[in-house]
């Protein structure tokens, strides 16, 4: 089978999620990493892309250059992953869809609901795939939990309790680190910091396992490090359309806690628990 030609925007050297995408693509064995605009610094992006094995003429200095470069090639990329900070997702994703590429966009897909709806319209019009990687829902045991709920093995679901918290942004003296700072800056992250970064995975997972939609919520957002405009800790209560009660805590200042995600689902006749690692409680 011919490999799919894959491109990436963002995910430069030292980025958090870039290596995870490359590792995943390599593990699947069906992708050829063919093009990239990997860094907001053009030269650093070109240089790193070539170090990763991308040909010099497809190691681009920016996403616009990559769009122009790939658009008219006979061997153009089949899909592109967008792994840049949130504020850039909409423009890049829309532009690549409109040029006929399939797109895997990092979460959160856009900064506003209106932008998200626009992306859906463009994807439908062009017939191209636009996926957003809520990656945790792909774990086999999560799929098993969803199947058990669907089969009625724990009865009607009453409550979901979940947390996705870590302490990696708990050091106030590191708050100006460029890789940390954008996450709490509304201009780059959007309306939410930690909830959009990690809490959103927990909320998506609650919907995914229960096959249900979150309908209403109330939230207590706190910026515990004073220089941060957006929240670094949040407690969220929600209700689903099926009547399930949800409790969600997310934090990036939980020092001593590793990056970890837990979800528990309690039904009328049983309960389920999944954790992303054994150190997570
Ligand atoms: N699905 C997940 O579990 C998960 C986990 C972490 C991050 N993310 C998402 O991935 C995205 C990136 O997060 P990160 O943690 O890797 O951030 P990061 O700050 O560690 O890295 C961002 C990278 O994008 C590059 N970049 C910035 N602007 C660019 C531009 N205009 N063109 C090309 N490259 C550009 C930077 O140079 C850097 O290499 C965010 O939207 C975040 O929400 C998702």
Which CATH number fits the domain that encloses residue 257? 3.30.360.10
107 lines ligand 1 (CB under 6 A): yes
Domain end among 86, 114, 133: 133
Q: Is residue 13 domain-resident?
A: yes
Statement: residue 278 has pLDDT above 80? no
User: pLDDT, tens digit, for every residue of 249-275?
Assistant: 999 999 999 888 999 999 999 999 999
Domain CATH number, residue 104: 3.40.50.720
Same domain membership, residue 80 and residue 127:
yes
C-alpha of residue 72 to centroid of ligand 1, in Å: 27
Same domain membership, residue 124 and residue 92:
yes
Q: Is residue 280 domain-resident?
A: no
Same domain membership, residue 195 and residue 86:
no
User: Does pTM surpass 0.85?
Assistant: yes
Same domain membership, residue 160 and residue 215:
yes
- In the chain, which residue ranges form alpha helices assigned H by DSSP? 18-28, 42-51, 63-71, 89-98, 113-126, 140-150, 178-181, 186-189, 194, 200-210
Domain count, the chain: 2
Same domain membership, residue 168 and residue 112:
no
261 lines ligand 1 (CB under 6 A): no
User: pLDDT, tens digit, for every residue of 90-143?
Assistant: 999 999 999 999 999 999 999 999 999 999 999 999 999 999 999 999 999 999
Statement: residue 279 has pLDDT above 90? no
17 lines ligand 1 (CB under 6 A): yes
Average pLDDT over all residues of the chain = 96
Q: Which of 8, 51, 54, 84 to mutate to test the pocket of ligand 1 (most atoms within 8 A of CB)?
A: 84
Contacts of 277 (CB under 8 A, 6+ apart): 258, 260
Task: Judge contact between 49 and 22, C-beta under 8 A.
Answer: no
Q: Is residue 263 domain-resident?
A: yes
Same domain membership, residue 126 and residue 25:
yes
Statement: residue 281 has pLDDT above 80? no
Same domain membership, residue 185 and residue 110:
no
Contacts of 42 (CB under 8 A, 6+ apart): 61, 62
Domain end among 99, 133, 167: 133
Domain end among 133, 152, 176: 133
User: pLDDT, tens digit, for every residue of 214-227?
Assistant: 999 999 999 999 99
Least confident of 8-17, 157-166, 168-177: 168-177
Please identify, by atom number, the ligand 1 atom nearest to the C-alpha of residue 133. 1
Q: Is residue 163 domain-resident?
A: yes
Q: Look at phi and psi of residue 6 and say left if phi exceeds 0, alpha if psi is from -120 to 50, else beta.
A: beta
Residue 223: the pLDDT is 97
Q: Is residue 152 domain-resident?
A: yes
Same domain membership, residue 223 and residue 245:
yes
Please identify, by atom number, the ligand 1 atom nearest to the C-alpha of residue 9. 33
- Nearest CA to 264 out of 247, 277, 278 is that of 247
Q: Is residue 46 domain-resident?
A: yes
Same domain membership, residue 152 and residue 32:
no
Domain encompassing residue 78: 4-133
One DSSP character per residue, 212-235 reads: --EEEEEEEEE--STT-SS-SEEE
246 lines ligand 1 (CB under 6 A): no
Task: Judge contact between 10 and 25, C-beta under 8 A.
Answer: no
Same domain membership, residue 169 and residue 127:
no
Joined tokens for residue 42 = 């053009």
Burial (Cβ within 10 Å: 0-12, 13-18, ≥19) of residue 128: middle
Same domain membership, residue 170 and residue 89:
no
Q: Is residue 146 domain-resident?
A: yes
Same domain membership, residue 152 and residue 124:
no
């Amino acid at each position: 089978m011919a490999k799919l030609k894959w491109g990436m925007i963002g995910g430069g050297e030292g980025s958090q999620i870039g290596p995870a995408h490359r590792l995943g693509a390599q593990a699947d064995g069906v992708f050829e990493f063919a093009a990239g605009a990997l860094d907001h610094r053009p030269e650093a992006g070109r240089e790193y892309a070539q170090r990763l094995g991308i040909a010099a003429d497809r190691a681009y200095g920016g996403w616009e250059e990559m769009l122009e470069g790939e658009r008219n090639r006979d061997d153009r990329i089949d899909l592109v992953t967008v792994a840049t900070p949130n504020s850039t997702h909409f423009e890049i994703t829309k532009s690549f869809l409109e040029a006929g590429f399939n797109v895997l966009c990092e979460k959160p897909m856009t900064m506003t609901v209106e932008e998200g709806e626009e992306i859906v319209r463009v994807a439908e019009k062009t017939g191209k795939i636009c996926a957003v990687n809520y990656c945790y829902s792909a774990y086999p045991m999560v799929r098993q939990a969803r199947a058990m709920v669907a089969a009625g093995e724990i009865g009607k679901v009453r409550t979901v309790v979940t947390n996705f918290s870590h302490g990696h942004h708990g050091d106030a003296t590191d708050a100006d680190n460029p890789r940390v700072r954008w996450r709490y800056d509304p201009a780059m992250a959007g309306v939410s910091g930690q909830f959009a970064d990690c809490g959103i995975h927990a909320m998506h997972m609650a919907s995914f396992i229960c096959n249900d939609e979150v309908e209403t919520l109330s939230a207590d957002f706190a910026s515990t490090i004073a220089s941060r405009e957006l929240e670094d800790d949040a407690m969220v209560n929600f209700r689903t359309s099926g009547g399930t009660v949800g409790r969600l805590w997310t934090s990036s200042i939980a020092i001593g806690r590793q990056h970890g995600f837990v979800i528990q689902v309690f039904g009328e006749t049983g309960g389920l628990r999944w954790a992303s690692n054994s150190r997570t409680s």
